[in-house]
Structure 1
Amino acid sequence: MQLVVARIGRAHGIKGEVTVEVRTDEPEVRLGPGAVLATDPPGTGPLTIESGRVHSGRLLLRFAGVGDRTGAEALRNTLLIAEVDPEELPDDPEEFYDHQLMDLDVVTEDGVEVGRITEISHLPSQDLFIVERPDGSEVMVPFVAEIVAEIDLEEQRAVITPPPGLIDDRAVIASARDVEQEGAGDEAPDGGGHGAPGRAGEAR
């Protein structure tokens, strides 16, 4: 199974380094020296990581064969994709890969059907479930402990305790595109965080 682990940002310096937006909880494993990653667009890769370091809180990577700023800039916005065993599970039992969460049924604690998870949106402040409701509309559910009470992979369901207005007639209904545009403005009322009981990630 192929999962996105990072997105390449701008070039850093003149020796081929790039900043990356990390999309994995295990960058030391997925983005370590020697890792060979597929890319989107495919023609950019595969890319082999030559070295990595943290600078001002951001991960910088250098790839084999990319030795100057021009080559680094040409990689901007490329997605880095790792091959992951679909049976592999995170070390922390309260963390989840995206593919584990996709298509889970979402219900409230009293058994009311909300819908089905069709997408995980990773925002800087928190993760969001994009839930398709039976009528075809979509609702955004912050993946935080105050709202997501339980992830039951055996029963293939996520149990939520939604605050007033989240899933009723006053709920904020949006498409996945709206989520990306609105960003952190859709935070949970309490400010949230990368949620417990677990966290979603595109790969770990």
Structure 2
Amino acid sequence: MRKKRSVRAILERRKRRFFDHSNEVMIGKVVGVHGLKGDLKVRSESDVFERQIEKTPEVSLYRGTKKERLEVEYVKPYKEIFLVKFKGINDRSSAEERMGGEIYIGKDEQVPLEEGEFYYHQLIGLKVVDESGREIGKVKSIMEQPASHILEVETESNKEVLIPFIDQFVKEVDLKNGKIVVSLIEGMED
């Protein structure tokens, strides 16, 4: 008879990392499949996903305890995400096996970023201030939503402030000085 694991044990096991990503950057996540020929729906994790994946002939796809190197056949924009075709994934069931997978590249393979571009992992831990310079908190994570990404900001008092990552609210991302300048409307911090 199999020993039943507690919810706590299951969650702790999920937190453990099987791979060391210290020399890699996640650029996308497989969120679905498209059609019958093996196209994957990929949500971008950077401002430069399409340019990045076109310049990188091979990427690493991680899913659970599995890692595979895949050669990019093509990438094309599709609604708010991208359709990516990898060589060797030629049918829907093969594509479905990659659902939930994370796409990484080596840090040395990153394309140079232009003014105003960044990778989302660079935002974690940045100080968030309003336009007058008042500190709101630090970026704890980035939530992916269909309309826009949302900055999850943790305040000094451990409150959570959710800020849509759109021009109306995010006025400046200053990686050099480690801060994000935002303009909040009444009630956003409540």
When the two structures are superposed, what TM-score results if normalisation uses the length of structure 1?
0.65
Tell me how many residue pairs correspond in the alignment.
165
Q: Which amino acid aligns with 2:176?
A: E
Match of 1:132 in 2: 154
AA matched with 2:70: L
Q: Which of 35, 49, 63 is equivalent to 2:58?
A: 35
Q: Would you say the 8 A contact 2:128–2:180 is kept in 1?
A: yes
Aligned to 2:66, the other structure's residue is in SS state helix
* C-alpha displacement of 1:102: 1.9
- Within 2, Cα distance between the matches of 1:55 and 1:65? 21
Corresponding residue for residue 107 of structure 2: 84
Q: Are the counterparts in 2 of residues 32 and 52 from structure 1 also a CA contact under 8 Å?
A: no
Work out which of the residue numbers 84, 90, 95 in structure 2 matches 1:72.
Answer: 95
The aligned counterpart of 1:154 is 176
Report deviation, 1:163: 0.9
Distance in 1 between the 2:174 and 2:54 partners?
30
Query: Match for 1:96: what amino acid?
Result: F
Report if the CA contact (8 A) 1:52-1:59 is conserved: no
* Alignment partner, residue 116 of structure 1: 138
Question: What is the CA RMSD across the aligned residues, in angstroms?
Answer: 3.0
Distance in 1 between residues matched to 2:188 and 2:169, nearest whole Å? 10
Shift of 1:134: 0.7
| Identity in percent | 25
The residue type equivalent to 1:46 in the other structure is: R
CA distance 1:55–1:135, change in 2 (3 Å): closer
Structure 1 segments unaligned to the other structure (5+ residues):
172-204
Note the alpha carbon deviations across 1:33-89, whole angstroms, 9 max, x for none: 83232323341522222x125486564333333333332222222221222349965
1:4–1:100 Cα change, 3 Å? closer
Distance 1:63 1:103, change over 3 A: same
TM-score by length of 2: 0.69
Match of 2:29 in 1: 7
Question: For the residues of structure 2 that align with 1:116 and 1:55, how far apart are their CA atoms?
Answer: 32
Q: Is the 8 A contact 2:58 2:69 kept in 1?
A: no
What do residues 6-34 of structure 1 show as CA deviations (whole Å, max 9, x unaligned)? Answer: 22312521x43333334343324325683
SS in structure 1 of the partner of residue 167 of structure 2 = coil
Q: Which runs of 5+ in 2 are unaligned?
A: 1-22
Within a 5 Å distance, the mapping from 1:93-112 to structure 2 comes to 93-112=115-134
